[in-house]
Amino acid sequence: MMQFNLQLFASNTNISSDSGMSAEMKTYYDDYLIDCADPKLVHDQFAQKRPIPMGGGKTIEFRKVSPLPKATTPLTEGVTPDGQKLSISTVSATVQQYGGYVELSDLVVLSAIDNNLVIAARQLGAQAGKTLDTITREVLAGGTNVQYAEGQVSSRAALVGGASSGNHYLTVDAVRRAVRTLKKNDAEPVDDCYIGIIHPDVAYDLMSDPKWVSVKSYSDPEGIYRGEIGKLENVRFVETSEAKVFPGAGKDGRDVYATLILGGNAYGVSEIEGGGLTLIVKQLGSGGASDPLDQRASVAWKATKAAVRLQEAYMVRIETTSTFSES
């Protein structure tokens, strides 16, 4: 593990929030925080991304262009037809700030600052990642385009799982129906396929199907998405334990899982780079009168975040139970 100069954090000189840290050290810890958070940001992976609007208010805008209608009227020789206008609308979202911090006592700082600062940054990075991922997930899970299993039932409460008969697990047919919906709505794939965000409990059921293609058999391993486990019916599946679960929402109190099937440009998020996510280190002696004995240092993260659904028709939320649904 890389070692750091204790005096960069433990000196008692008058400082601002970042004083005592070299630019290289601050950059290292900022990058370390983002590295820890980034693997958790599965739900952001396929979004349109926009930078945080510095000095531009609290609203971030995404633009939508409506497709032009078919031009089925034949042209008349020598006559210029009427032109058409682009229909451009905006979808806006209000950015919010989120954050957390860990206090380090003077005894901890003086005895093992290197290890504890790194440990704190690692834990805060994980917290930041799960927090920001959950914000996007909840926006996506609130979509109006819902499919209950293969369409046999019409509500979440009617879904059955576990040891009951008539289990409503995620199946190839359910995925195929969702893909059909996206195709009917002219949703473009992401790269070459649609995207599925799936919980490990649900993936367990789907991967047993003989049509499942494991990521290990891909001919292009360089193009694998973060968390990707395989594909089926023109959907590439990304697995995350942070996929949306509705505890006890199914019949007999079974857990219900949401599997998101996404097309391109279905949703948008703000970027974490460029000020969207930062690490803040307060060394001993930076607290002024509120810390007269220089007893407290802290490590914190702060993020500015917005997520918004852009095209409801370009996403389908399949709700099912699983083999592991609890009763």
The overall pTM is greater than 0.85: no
* 295 vs 64: CA distance, rounded Å: 53
Tell me the average pLDDT across 199-212: 94
Q: Is the residue at 53 inside a domain?
A: yes
> Residue 109's domain is classified under what CATH number?
3.30.2400
Closest to 161 (Cα-Cα) out of 235, 87, 249, 242: 249
**For residue 234, is it left (φ>0), alpha (ψ between -120 and 50) or beta?**
left
Segment among 135-149, 163-177, 217-231, 280-294 with least mean pLDDT: 280-294
Same domain, 152 and 97: no
Q: Is the residue at 80 inside a domain?
A: no
The answer to whether 232 and 212 have CB atoms below 8 angstroms apart is yes
Q: Is the residue at 170 inside a domain?
A: yes
Same domain, 37 and 163: no
* 209 vs 232: CA distance, rounded Å: 9
Same domain, 16 and 131: yes
| Amino acid type, 24 | E
Same domain, 217 and 261: yes
Same domain, 111 and 156: no
Cα maximum dimension of the chain: 89
Burial grade of 63 (CB within 10 A; 0-12, 13-18, 19 or more): exposed
Instruction: Report the length, in residues, of the chain.
Output: 327
> Is residue 24's pLDDT more than 70?
no
**What pLDDT is attached to residue 21?**
57
How far from each other are the two terminal CA atoms of the chain, in whole angstroms?
45
- Confidence band for 168, pLDDT divided at 50, 70 and 90: very high
Same domain, 258 and 275: no
Q: Is the residue at 1 inside a domain?
A: no
**What pLDDT is attached to residue 260?**
98
Same domain, 182 and 200: yes
Same domain, 274 and 131: yes
* 201 vs 193: CA distance, rounded Å: 23
Any idea what the Cα angle at residue 7 is, between residues 5 and 8, rounded to 5°? 75
Q: Is the residue at 82 inside a domain?
A: no
Mean pLDDT computed over every residue of the chain: 83
DSSP character for 199?
-
Same domain, 109 and 121: yes
Tell me the average pLDDT across 116-143: 90
| DSSP assignments along 73-125, one per residue | SPPPTT-PPPP---EEEEEEEE-EEEEEEEEEEHHHHHHHHHHHHHHHHHHHH
Q: Is the residue at 73 inside a domain?
A: no
> Residue 221's domain is classified under what CATH number?
3.30.2320
- Confidence band for 10, pLDDT divided at 50, 70 and 90: very low
Same domain, 185 and 301: no
Number of domains forming the structure of the chain: 2
Place of tokens 């929402």: 249
Same domain, 96 and 154: no
* 322 vs 73: CA distance, rounded Å: 52
More confident residue, 61 or 99: 99
Q: Is the residue at 325 inside a domain?
A: no
> Is residue 327's pLDDT more than 60?
no
- Confidence band for 197, pLDDT divided at 50, 70 and 90: very high
Same domain, 316 and 183: yes
Q: Is the residue at 176 inside a domain?
A: yes
Q: Domain containing 191: what range?
A: 145-267+311-320
